[in-house]
Chain A
């Protein structure tokens, strides 16, 4: 809304200037410069790309881009309907990542692939993290990227013209000249106040997990859209491979994201205020316990994953604390579990809204507990009784058809699903000790009766259930008295994040059943899979998020030998040294004599 008003005003002004210029008075330009927001400078429109470039770009477009963006660039290619956010419609010339003021066209010059001065080139080079747009670096040459952009900007952007001085202007954010303010405590404090004052929290939520107003936001084409989660900076559009750089946030905040409800704040904030906000938002991104950024995998542009989840021992047979604020939980190292959509069996989950879970684990002599923390913009609890029993696997949840056109698309249905329970489950191998060396049960609910899986599922209605899985399409089997010996220690949804702690027996032959319960053993690697459901995404049954196979590893306490033997060895080395020196001295003496 705001953008379009600005746009109209801009058009009116340029027409007015046209009249003034014709009558020979050229003072208008300085007036235009004065109206620019702080940190911006007037820029020149680039020249039109050559016809050769455009023609060559067509070939690139129809090999690589057409599949999602469509023949006419309307964002309606065959892949579009199963994507959310949908691929961009180029026709209106609305582009997200820019150095130009809100509503303006992005910077693009087919002759100048300079970082910071060519927005579209950078978008194609780096892709848009958190969306389906991949990075084309290393796939297309610089030349090919410029060619395809020449084609898109001249042939597929239909409502506007990149070279039309009458209707277009460029006010360029001078990002390289603006020095970031150090993220001191004072700056962060100011930033924290400003995000409330500037109403950022209304959409992005009190803790910045994108959970404010998540249901009423629409993009320019009427598709539902959700505010960014500030805790996952690697998913910020335009942040690839440098997600912890505060400049990304400063730029987005200054220029807005065209086509979305994210406005530019350039007009009503000073440059200094923008740095404070950017510093604060940047400080929220997930980090290691010591405050250093998570290491980002260069292949996937997401945090690096370690596939061993080690569980820490609670010494002296103490209780496992039920309070996540307890020192034992706080000190425990966490692991990120990467989650993908379950797209193997129907119903498939193409738009996976839970893309990671943070897991910690503790154990004592009787129990093992897992703490799951994941971001979910909405707390979802199904109303009334669900139409299927908890053990049912083949349930009737609709999968989206890949119909081209807006009606059947995921983006148009998003936020209109029947609401089911948010849920999380952990699946561990039963009788893992008896599995021949390389064998693991199948990742989805086990292989068969011989290689079953032990599944524990928590749902937002407060239930904690234990199942045995014997195959991807077999209904679960209930397990005897396992639920009674397990316990939900904690569950809470707060400002866009679930925290759930479940406790279960370690397993022993007296109280548990070796054929359907996992027996956890110290120092062993136990195959583990995680599942998660977002109730407002219509997730139920197999429509869920899945992880790969991880290993649960119960850390053995450091054995006493680890302290004794090294000392014995060191003392032995000292004796050896003495012996060598004695021998040498004796030899020399013998020589001298």
Chain B
């Protein structure tokens, strides 16, 4: 039993140190990665481990004669949960959500400390001691609280009443539903059936497999396949068009979407929200090639009503580029990010 508890205690201490590191900022929050898709389960598992660790710790301390009063256990555990939510979870969650979790855990802790009459008595003992103020220490504490509590509450309510200016929150649909068809340079394109005319093999036939085999490799850097250099003088078909698309991209698009297509171009810092990051799996990787064709051709100004508040300065590229150029740019974007366009089926 004791061995088991000491192991748990060690784990608990290590966990606390790790969290302290995250709070101070020595250890980055994503040091222990939260696995995508399993985050809630992982968080609950981690918290369970922590609870086991704390049980071990308190057992060991009691065994060494340094028992920790129930009152402080409750308060410290609550503080721990708040800190865990703020500093461990990455990307950070908003305050309102944290406040909700904080309240729920507060209720849970109350249930824990008041599970039976004896525990409850132990828990409220320190509070009663201060109220009774039998010793000099508690007397000073009582007088201190008498002043501090009203001052704090008064301060909070003043803060809440002083006028403040915070940017209003605007919700927007990032990928609004596309129309069934779009008319560009006088020709109508049905989004469900149109194909990128430049996704072709060296023989000139539409060939998704061929192009997929020649896009850049996933992984750090996203480099081109060693034998698929679009700048090769002999490049034909798909790769040749990728180069032509890249030329257009670096004359028109990189100013906002960046040299690495990550939305961090020269002018990006002036915009809110910053331009779309194509290397993120949530943008072009989620969409069909014809959707991109429509967005590029019509720009922010062509967004449907559900795309409000039109917080997009994306140019309607049909004003500046030909249909062929737009298809080539779309081709290049998929090549450079190493994503396959989604298909309709």
A566→B301 contact, CB < 8 A: no
Q: If the complex has contacts A140-B220, A472-B301, are A64 and B260 also in contact, measured as CB distance less than 8 A?
A: yes
A68→B269 contact, CB < 8 A: no
Query: Does A19 make an interface contact (CB < 8 A)?
Result: no
Q: If the complex has contacts A338-B270, A566-B157, A573-B150, are A346 and B256 also in contact, measured as CB distance less than 8 A?
A: no
| B272 / chain A contacts, CB cutoff of 8 Å | 305, 307, 548-549
By beta carbon, the residue of chain A nearest B312 is: A443
- Residues A37-67 near B (CB distance < 8 A): 59-60, 62-64, 66-67
| B300 / chain A contacts, CB cutoff of 8 Å | 344
**Which of A299, A566, A567 is within 8 Å of B274, CB to CB?**
A299
Query: Does A139 make an interface contact (CB < 8 A)?
Result: yes
A77 to B155 alpha-carbon distance, docked (Å): 61
**Which of B154, B220, B226, B264 is within 8 Å of A566, CB to CB?**
B154
**Which of B161, B165, B224, B256 is within 8 Å of A343, CB to CB?**
B256
Query: How close is A460's CB to chain B, nearest CB, in angstroms?
Result: 23
A141→B221 contact, CB < 8 A: yes
| A338 / chain B contacts, CB cutoff of 8 Å | 269-270
- Residues A279-327 near B (CB distance < 8 A): 297, 299-302, 305-308, 310
A573→B153 contact, CB < 8 A: yes
Q: Which of A67, A352, A546, A571 has the most CB of B within 10 A?
A: A67
A62→B229 contact, CB < 8 A: yes
- Residues B89-130 near A (CB distance < 8 A): 128
A63→B222 contact, CB < 8 A: yes
By beta carbon, the residue of chain B nearest A344 is: B315
B310→A440 contact, CB < 8 A: yes
Query: Does B16 make an interface contact (CB < 8 A)?
Result: no
**Which of A64, A306, A553, A581 is within 8 Å of B259, CB to CB?**
A64
Query: Does A525 make an interface contact (CB < 8 A)?
Result: yes
Query: Does A1 make an interface contact (CB < 8 A)?
Result: no
Query: Does A439 make an interface contact (CB < 8 A)?
Result: yes
Q: Which of B131, B221, B316 has the most CB of A within 10 A?
A: B221
By beta carbon, the residue of chain A nearest B151 is: A570
Contacting chain B: which of A216-224, A243-251, A555-563?
A: A555-563
A574 to B148 alpha-carbon distance, docked (Å): 10
A63 to B225 alpha-carbon distance, docked (Å): 9
A343→B231 contact, CB < 8 A: no
**Which of B172, B256, B259 is within 8 Å of A438, CB to CB?**
B172
Query: Does B162 make an interface contact (CB < 8 A)?
Result: yes
Query: How close is A345's CB to chain B, nearest CB, in angstroms?
Result: 7
Query: Does B311 make an interface contact (CB < 8 A)?
Result: yes
**Which of B158, B248, B313 is within 8 Å of A562, CB to CB?**
B158
Query: Does B45 make an interface contact (CB < 8 A)?
Result: no
| B146 / chain A contacts, CB cutoff of 8 Å | 574, 577
B150→A571 contact, CB < 8 A: yes
By beta carbon, the residue of chain B nearest A341 is: B267
A82 to B256 alpha-carbon distance, docked (Å): 13
Query: Does A523 make an interface contact (CB < 8 A)?
Result: yes
**Which of A59, A551, A574 is within 8 Å of B168, CB to CB?**
A551
A442 to B305 alpha-carbon distance, docked (Å): 12
Q: Which of A77, A341, A438 has the most CB of B within 10 A?
A: A438
Query: Does A18 make an interface contact (CB < 8 A)?
Result: no
- Residues A16-47 near B (CB distance < 8 A): none
B270→A343 contact, CB < 8 A: no
| B315 / chain A contacts, CB cutoff of 8 Å | 343-345
Query: Does B68 make an interface contact (CB < 8 A)?
Result: no
- Residues B214-253 near A (CB distance < 8 A): 216, 220-224, 226, 229-231, 246-252
B226→A59 contact, CB < 8 A: yes
B223→A144 contact, CB < 8 A: yes
B269→A297 contact, CB < 8 A: yes
A584 to B314 alpha-carbon distance, docked (Å): 68
- Residues A438-457 near B (CB distance < 8 A): 438-440, 442-444
Query: Does B254 make an interface contact (CB < 8 A)?
Result: yes
Tally of contact residues, B, Cβ under 8 A: 70
A302→B259 contact, CB < 8 A: no
B267→A343 contact, CB < 8 A: yes
Q: Which of B222, B246, B259 has the most CB of A within 10 A?
A: B259
Query: Does B56 make an interface contact (CB < 8 A)?
Result: no
Query: Does A178 make an interface contact (CB < 8 A)?
Result: no
A331 to B246 alpha-carbon distance, docked (Å): 50
Q: If the complex has contacts A82-B251, A439-B309, are A60 and B223 also in contact, measured as CB distance less than 8 A?
A: yes
| B309 / chain A contacts, CB cutoff of 8 Å | 438-440
Against B, the Cβ 8 Å flags (1 = close, 0 = not) of A192-219 are 0000000000000000000000000000
Q: If the complex has contacts A343-B256, A573-B149, are A561 and B161 also in contact, measured as CB distance less than 8 A?
A: yes
A341 to B299 alpha-carbon distance, docked (Å): 17
| A82 / chain B contacts, CB cutoff of 8 Å | 251
A570 to B60 alpha-carbon distance, docked (Å): 43
**Which of B163, B250, B254 is within 8 Å of A555, CB to CB?**
B163
Query: Does A339 make an interface contact (CB < 8 A)?
Result: yes
Against A, the Cβ 8 Å flags (1 = close, 0 = not) of B79-94 are 0000000000000000
- Residues B315-335 near A (CB distance < 8 A): 315-316, 319-320
A551 to B168 alpha-carbon distance, docked (Å): 9
A566→B155 contact, CB < 8 A: yes
Query: Does A79 make an interface contact (CB < 8 A)?
Result: yes
Q: If the complex has contacts A140-B220, A566-B154, are A547 and B270 also in contact, measured as CB distance less than 8 A?
A: yes
A382 to B246 alpha-carbon distance, docked (Å): 38
A140 to B220 alpha-carbon distance, docked (Å): 6
B221→A553 contact, CB < 8 A: no
B247→A78 contact, CB < 8 A: yes
- Residues A410-448 near B (CB distance < 8 A): 438-440, 442-444
Query: Does A103 make an interface contact (CB < 8 A)?
Result: no
A53 to B223 alpha-carbon distance, docked (Å): 15
Query: Does A569 make an interface contact (CB < 8 A)?
Result: yes
Query: Does A588 make an interface contact (CB < 8 A)?
Result: yes
21 A-B pairs with CB atoms under 8 Å apart are: A62-B224, A62-B231, A63-B216, A63-B222, A64-B221, A67-B246, A136-B260, A139-B221, A341-B266, A346-B319, A438-B172, A439-B308, A439-B309, A546-B270, A547-B270, A548-B271, A565-B157, A567-B154, A573-B150, A577-B150, A584-B131
The 6 closest A-B pairs by CB, nearest first: A79-B250, A340-B267, A340-B270, A570-B154, A300-B269, A78-B247
Q: Known pairs A139-B262, A345-B319, A548-B270. 20 more at Cβ < 8 A?
A: A59-B229, A63-B224, A67-B247, A78-B248, A132-B266, A144-B221, A297-B269, A300-B274, A308-B165, A308-B166, A343-B267, A345-B315, A346-B319, A402-B251, A438-B171, A439-B308, A440-B309, A525-B168, A548-B271, A584-B131
